[in-house]
Amino acid sequence: MAGLSKNSDTLKMAGEHGFLPMSLNLNPGYVRSHWDSVEAGARKGGRTANRNDWRLVREIFVADTDEEAWRLSVGGMMGRMMGEYFLPLLSDFGFKEYLKHHPDVPDSDVTVDYCAKRNWLVGSPATVAEKLEQIYEDVGGFGQLCVFGFDYLENPGAWRNSLRLIQEEVMPRVKHLVPQPPVATLAAAQ
């Protein structure tokens, strides 16, 4: 069950009923608040929330170098979707705050480049692994990473290569990122 806003009712419902919670592709500092909603719902439903169940959606593009990844993401379909669709949509609903790393950032500064620098995982395998570790730390841990998909019809080889690099080079570098089981689970297992 996906959540977008702070104090998300849908994420509370996910926690309450044991559904898998999923946070959408927003600024990690903002997404951190989503886990509070999952835990609040779990308490209401008499459950214990487990971060291993939490899914995070991220825009990810990996290439051999940081420069190539930037060119193929910001200058490709990721950048186009963000600039032509997602940013205008969030702006129309007054939701650009969800992408900001700090509330004082003017809406006019929330551009494709801003999102690529602050929210996306773009770069070489080493860079993306480092950024992923930082997001993991920023949100307090999560169980699954969902790649936001794009139509790279004009360059499908670049998209396939990015997915391959994620699987073969990024994921092995971050396999140690496993959330601790909830305290209640540890107590019950003993």
Question: Are 22 and 1 within 8 A, CB to CB?
Answer: yes
pLDDT value for 30: 87
What's the token pair of residue 123? 């770069």
Mean pLDDT of 131-155: 94
pLDDT for 29 equals 85
Q: What is the pLDDT of residue 189?
A: 45
Domains of the chain, first to last: 2-189 (3.20.20.30)
For position 185, what pLDDT does the model report?
Answer: 47
Residue 178 has pLDDT above 50, yes or no: yes
DSSP β-bridge partners for residue 60: 121
pLDDT of residue 179: 84
Answer yes or no: is pLDDT of 84 > 60: yes
Instruction: State the average pLDDT over residues 50-57.
Output: 96
Q: Measuring CA to CA, which residue among 58, 64, 59, 57 is closest to residue 123?
A: 64
